[in-house]
């Protein structure tokens, strides 16, 4: 199981939201560059960063920060937030992202997302599926749809989709444990896709359980920021830090 530390950005600063609510945010003192350097030094190379300003504005807003963290030796940045045009996608890739997470556009313009998978490759393009009450949410979690995550995934499997980050918004930032049943269902239904568990990780026990269940990837955010889990615990040899 690949463990991926997370950083959320607003105005170039590290924050965490609760349940995707911009009004319920905590701002942390550490600079993004410092955090990435620390993660890499502990063996975590793939790092998940969300441009929350970009998600809200429907266009990337923290590209200078992306350039700075992407220059750190050993860092492989997985970047999402506001990638809703090919120009934005190219800007993010040119700024140094190794992987780009696309969410809202995949719902609104599935033909465009399919084209991106075909053109840029599923090894770099990641589907970001944010779920609330079983339905996909878009636009920085501000708008709900009637689309199920299964229907969304089914649109893109013919185009080689093999990476999906699924966030259960009701769990995100709440430190109440992940929606394990959801991820087990998805991983069983789509064995050729690597699903990333996102939202709700509260400590080492959650990681141990996910690993025992055979889940392949997990993002750790608020629990790490608030000391509920340490980098040493995340470095358990049972977990992988390979890309």
Residue positions annotated with a catalytic role: 8, 130
Token output for 180:
């394990």
Is the CA virtual torsion 194, 228, 167, 35 positive or negative? negative
**Matching residue, tokens 């860092």:** 75
Token output for 133:
């009450």
Report d(CA 39, CA 22) in Å as an integer: 25
Q: State residue 218 phi and psi, 5-degree precision.
A: -150, 140
Q: Which of 117, 149, 31, 229 is nearest to 219 (CA)?
A: 229
Partner residues linked to 102 by β-bridges: 127
Residue 138 Cα distances to 112, 167, 170, angstroms: 16, 12, 14
**Matching residue, tokens 């709900």:** 144
SS3 of residue 1 by DSSP: coil
Is the CA virtual torsion 234, 238, 242, 243 positive or negative? negative
Q: Which of 243, 181, 183, 223 is nearest to 234 (CA)?
A: 223
SS3 of residue 105 by DSSP: helix
């Amino acid at each position: 199981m690949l463990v991926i530390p997370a950083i959320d950005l607003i105005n170039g600063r590290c924050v965490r939201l609760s349940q995707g609510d911009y009004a319920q945010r905590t701002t942390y003192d550490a600079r993004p560059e410092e955090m990435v350097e620390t993660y890499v030094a502990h063996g975590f190379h793939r790092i998940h960063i969300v441009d929350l300003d970009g998600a809200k504005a429907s266009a990337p807003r923290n590209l200078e920060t992306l350039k700075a963290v992407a220059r750190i030796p050993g860092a492989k940045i997985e970047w999402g937030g506001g990638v809703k045009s090919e120009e934005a996608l190219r800007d993010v890739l040119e700024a140094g992202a190794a992987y780009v997470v696309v969410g809202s556009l995949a719902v609104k313009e599935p033909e465009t997302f399919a084209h991106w998978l075909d053109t840029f490759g599923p090894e770099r393009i990641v589907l970001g599926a944010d779920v609330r009450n079983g339905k996909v949410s878009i636009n920085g979690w501000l708008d709900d749809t009637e689309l199920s995550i299964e229907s969304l995934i089914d649109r893109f499997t013919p185009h080689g989709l093999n990476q999906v980050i699924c966030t259960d918004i009701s769990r995100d930032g709440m430190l109440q444990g992940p929606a394990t049943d959801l991820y087990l269902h998805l991983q069983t239904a789509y064995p050729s896709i690597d699903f990333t568990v996102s939202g709700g990780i509260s400590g080492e026990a959650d990681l141990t359980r996910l690993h025992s269940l055979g889940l392949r990837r997990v993002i750790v955010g608020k629990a790490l920021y608030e000391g509920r889990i340490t980098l040493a615990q995340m470095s358990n040899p049972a977990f992988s830090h390979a890309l």
